């Protein structure tokens, strides 16, 4: 008979046995949390904020307090750490009696059902965590309200955080109990918990390492390291959802289902666990070879990869490198296997037993290693067919000079995070074609290089492609795109000119630019336009007007429109972000002639120096031709021990043009080096051989403004005036 009252007595009795666990939970979740929160709130100096922010002081203080509330009452790193730590302690030490024969004799001889004993300990663990957390949360909420900030963080938000953390707690708690029921001593239980917690992430890390070493195209996304079958990984996905605007429910449900599945597993194992396992390393005899196998493989793979990497770099003999790798891997696998066996037996003298395990562990590690090396499963070059793709992401690294992005809530994201969140290209066919063509061209290029020849290729630019497959999976490829290839250019024009791409690549339409800029004005907006000579400041209104025009221009122009153009200038300005580090984001926006709205606005506002109209102020143009190609050829023609001839090396020719005619002829061909930026699209660039410096009359308007600064210029590709070319040729 199990009455409710006797269960209550059991719970109460169990609690008495777990006083120190209560103390740990209360220490972290109440004492530490509350004191830290109290100190943080009390440290806010109202006067200082009023002096700094004036009318916005209250708003800024609320922002700071909200940050504190999120840290101590929300799903913060601190609370996650406390939760995981307490879950591990409660899980391991709640069931630690299983490791003690004396306690087993006492408890297991009592006429209580195993299920009841399990549920009493399990429920008590939950109660210890939940009660401590809620007490801490309520006190913190009281502090918040008493300090007059009750409005910045609602009780609903605090409770939501509690339930999310509770789901995470349950996962780690069950993992800890699993470690307990699988092992027989507390030391081994703690080790098992660490291994269970880290195993998937270690395996993923090793697989990523192997992919990076042996695969050219497989790309690792930041989320790939997140384990999908451990509470940590699933909780990581929930955290990502929390940061995103999307719903976290699917991942929360997954976490809850995972928690339940783990609970059922530990419940069954608890019942099946032979009680004589107390004091042994592993409770279930049959698990020993499995565990040994599972632990030997990652070590074998890691060693194989390191050894092969060293040998491959130091020797060109692949066969020799492979042979040594096999030998070292086998030795490493045997040693690990023996070590684990020694731990199992609790006697290192018995370590070299079970030799079949050596063979299995070594063979498995080597098969996986060489499987990666040879891409036996054709993973690396695999590109899905468009019919399998739901949507795709195409990330040209640094296209339009962008590397960091702002989210709708002014949080700073890297390119991949932003694109993954907002880019949904339905034209999967074009993405697949670009991917395949890029791989083919790059393979060919490498083949030619491998044969010792220099390919006549165009340039390759790095891009990341992510396919969201219809089966729910995501696969990613890192490719080198031959941007000068005509077919590829056409495909890129189709893709990068599309609205879908622009929606997922340009962040300006994600947030309220007026608000963002006006927020920045509190710290003086540093917006300016430069064409290489002038740096003209823009007012807040001008910046907002310019940005409106820019967004429209981006919408109107195509990928190809800019290919033959060179930026006429740049607008540079900063926005204060709202990310946790309060960073400032700098925008550097190139203005191309085809961006008619922007270009006209710049001219209309008189922001262009139109330097070239001030030819009269130019006193001389210094052109230097470095003859890079000839110099390279000369170097290549030198024998191994041959010293280069200085006379030939000094043949780079510098000519200064002083006459007005020459100046008039050269000036139209010049572009400012300062406005040239890296171009992913391989568009119009400058002649790399030439460097041009303009000298201005120091008494003139420009000369005065430059105050001794000598701006550098260049010629556009293929647009060097003939007489300049002739005057600077090798003599």
- Contacts to other proteins by CB under 8 A: 1, 6, 9-10, 13, 16-17, 102-106, 108-114, 274-276, 285
Q: Which residues does 482 contact at the CB level (< 8 Å), separation at least 6?
A: 437, 438, 441, 442, 457, 458, 459, 460, 488
Which of residues 21 and 83 has its CB atom nearest to other proteins in the complex?
A: 21
Q: Write down the residue that tokens 């507390």 correspond to.
A: 186
Contact in structure between 254 and 241 (CB atoms under 8 Å):
no
Angstrom distance (rounded) from CA 385 to CA 407: 31
Which of residues 12 and 320 has its CB atom nearest to other proteins in the complex?
A: 12
Contact in structure between 79 and 72 (CB atoms under 8 Å):
yes
The structure tokens listed for 407 are 């989210």
Which of residues 344 and 501 has its CB atom nearest to other proteins in the complex?
A: 344
Angstrom distance (rounded) from CA 167 to CA 681: 47
Half-sphere exposure of 369 (CA within 13 A, CB side): 26
- Kindly list the distances between the CA atom of residue 634 and the CA atoms of 47, 324, 642, 650, 688, in Å, as whole numbers in the listed order: 70, 42, 11, 12, 18
Q: Give min distance, CB of 13 to other proteins, in A.
A: 5
Strand partners, 405: 413
- Kindly list the distances between the CA atom of residue 555 and the CA atoms of 50, 153, 573, 594, in Å, as whole numbers in the listed order: 43, 39, 21, 12
Q: Give min distance, CB of 135 to other proteins, in A.
A: 24
Which of residues 186 and 397 has its CB atom nearest to other proteins in the complex?
A: 186
The structure tokens listed for 516 are 């963002």
Angle at 675 between CA 666 and CA 560, to 5 degrees: 95
The structure tokens listed for 77 are 């790193």
Among candidate residues 249, 343, 348, the one with its CA nearest the CA of residue 296: 343
Which of residues 285 and 444 has its CB atom nearest to other proteins in the complex?
A: 285
3-state secondary structure of 570: strand
Which of residues 105 and 616 has its CB atom nearest to other proteins in the complex?
A: 105
Among candidate residues 626, 657, 512, 621, the one with its CA nearest the CA of residue 575: 512
Angstrom distance (rounded) from CA 394 to CA 444: 23
Q: Write down the residue that tokens 């919408």 correspond to.
A: 555
Q: Give min distance, CB of 260 to other proteins, in A.
A: 24
Which of residues 17 and 578 has its CB atom nearest to other proteins in the complex?
A: 17
Which of residues 10 and 461 has its CB atom nearest to other proteins in the complex?
A: 10
User: Residue 206: how many CB atoms within 10 A of its CB?
Assistant: 21
Q: Write down the residue that tokens 């996304």 correspond to.
A: 221
Q: Write down the residue that tokens 């009023």 correspond to.
A: 50
Q: Which helix (H) or strand (E) holds 463?
A: strand 460-469
Q: Give min distance, CB of 479 to other proteins, in A.
A: 57
Which of residues 277 and 533 has its CB atom nearest to other proteins in the complex?
A: 277
Which of residues 13 and 541 has its CB atom nearest to other proteins in the complex?
A: 13
Among candidate residues 606, 596, 612, the one with its CA nearest the CA of residue 538: 606
Strand partners, 570: 530, 590
Which of residues 108 and 244 has its CB atom nearest to other proteins in the complex?
A: 108
Helices (H), 273-408: 287-314, 318-345, 355-373
Contact in structure between 566 and 684 (CB atoms under 8 Å):
yes
Q: Give min distance, CB of 287 to other proteins, in A.
A: 14
**Rounded CA Rg of the chain:** 33
Which of residues 111 and 450 has its CB atom nearest to other proteins in the complex?
A: 111
Angstrom distance (rounded) from CA 512 to CA 650: 56
- Kindly list the distances between the CA atom of residue 499 and the CA atoms of 424, 426, 435, 463, 595, in Å, as whole numbers in the listed order: 10, 11, 20, 19, 17
Which of residues 275 and 290 has its CB atom nearest to other proteins in the complex?
A: 275
Which of residues 106 and 635 has its CB atom nearest to other proteins in the complex?
A: 106
């Amino acid at each position: 008979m199990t009455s409710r009252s006797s269960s209550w007595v059991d719970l109460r009795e169990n609690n008495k046995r777990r006083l120190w666990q209560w103390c740990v939970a209360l220490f972290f979740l109440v004492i530490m949390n509350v004191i830290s929160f109290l100190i943080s709130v009390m440290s806010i100096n109202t006067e200082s904020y009023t002096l700094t922010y004036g009318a916005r002081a209250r708003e800024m203080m609320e922002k700071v307090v909200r940050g504190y509330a999120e840290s101590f009452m929300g799903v913060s790193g601190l609370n996650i750490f406390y939760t995981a730590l307490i879950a591990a302690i409660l899980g391991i030490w709640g069931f630690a009696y299983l490791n003690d024969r004396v306690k087993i004799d006492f408890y297991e001889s009592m006429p209580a059902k195993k299920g009841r004993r399990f549920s009493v300990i399990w429920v008590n663990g939950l109660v210890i965590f939940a009660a401590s957390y809620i007490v801490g949360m309520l006190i913190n909420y009281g502090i918040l309200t008493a300090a007059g900030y009750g409005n910045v963080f609602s009780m609903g938000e605090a409770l939501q955080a509690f339930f999310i953390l509770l789901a995470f707690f349950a996962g780690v708690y069950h993992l800890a109990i699993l470690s307990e029921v699988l092992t027989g001593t507390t030391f081994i239980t703690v080790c098992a918990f660490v291994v269970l917690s880290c195993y998937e992430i270690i395996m993923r890390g090793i697989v990523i390492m192997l992919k990076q070493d042996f695969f050219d195209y497989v790309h690792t996304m930041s989320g790939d390291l997140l384990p999908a079958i451990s509470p940590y990984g699933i909780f990581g996905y929930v955290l990502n959802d929390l940061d995103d605007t999307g719903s976290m429910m699917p991942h929360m449900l997954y976490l809850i289902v995972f928690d339940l599945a783990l609970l059922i597993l530990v419940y069954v194992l608890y019942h099946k666990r032979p009680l004589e396992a107390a004091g042994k390393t592993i409770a279930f005899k049959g698990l020993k070879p499995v565990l040994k196998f599972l632990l030997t493989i990652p070590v074998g793979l890691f060693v194989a990869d390191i050894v092969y990497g060293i040998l491959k770099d130091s020797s060109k003999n692949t066969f020799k490198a492979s042979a040594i790798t096999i030998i070292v891997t086998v030795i490493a696998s045997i040693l690990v296997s023996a070590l684990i066996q020694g731990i199992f037996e609790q006697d290192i003298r018995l370590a070299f037993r079970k030799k079949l395990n050596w063979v299995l562990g070594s063979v498995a590690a080597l098969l996986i290693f060489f499987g990666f090396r040879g891409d036996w499963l054709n993973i690396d070059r695999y590109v899905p067919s468009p019919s399998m793709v739901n949507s795709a992401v195409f990330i040209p690294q640094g296209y339009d000079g962008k590397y960091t992005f702002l989210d709708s809530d002014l949080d700073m994201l890297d390119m991949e995070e932003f694109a993954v969140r907002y880019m949904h290209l339905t034209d999967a066919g074009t993405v697949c074609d670009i991917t395949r063509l890029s791989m083919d061209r790059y393979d060919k290029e490498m083949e030619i290089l491998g044969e010792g020849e220099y390919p006549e290729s165009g340039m390759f630019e790095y891009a990341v492609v992510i396919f969201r497959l219809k089966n729910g999976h995501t696969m990613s490829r890192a490719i080198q795109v031959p941007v000068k290839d005509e077919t590829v250019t056409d495909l890129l024009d189709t893709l990068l000119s599309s609205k879908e791409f622009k929606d997922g690549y340009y962040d300006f339409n994600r947030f309220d630019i007026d608000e963002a800029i006006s927020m920045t004005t509190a710290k003086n907006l540093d917006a300016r336009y430069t064409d290489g000579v002038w740096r003209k400041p823009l007012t807040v209104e001008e910046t907002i007007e310019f940005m409106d025009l820019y967004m429209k221009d981006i919408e109107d122009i195509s990928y190809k429109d800019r290919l033959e153009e060179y930026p006429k200038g740049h607008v540079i300005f900063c926005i204060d972000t709202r990310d946790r580090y309060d960073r400032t984001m700098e925008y550097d926006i190139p203005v191309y002639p085809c961006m008619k709205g922007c270009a006209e606005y710049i001219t209309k506002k008189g922001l262009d120096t139109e330097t070239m109209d001030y030819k009269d102020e130019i006193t001389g143009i210094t052109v230097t031709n470095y003859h890079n190609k000839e110099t390279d050829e000369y170097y290549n023609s030198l024998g191994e021990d041959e010293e280069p001839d200085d006379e030939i090396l000094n043949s780079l020719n510098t000519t200064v043009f002083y006459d007005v005619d020459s100046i008039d002829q050269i000036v139209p061909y010049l572009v400012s080096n300062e406005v040239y930026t890296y171009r992913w699209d391989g568009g119009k660039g400058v002649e790399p051989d030439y460097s041009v410096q303009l000298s201005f009359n120091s008494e003139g308007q420009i000369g005065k403004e430059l105050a001794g600064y000598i701006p550098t210029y260049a010629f556009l590709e293929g647009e060097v005036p003939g007489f300049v070319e002739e005057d600077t040729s090798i003599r």
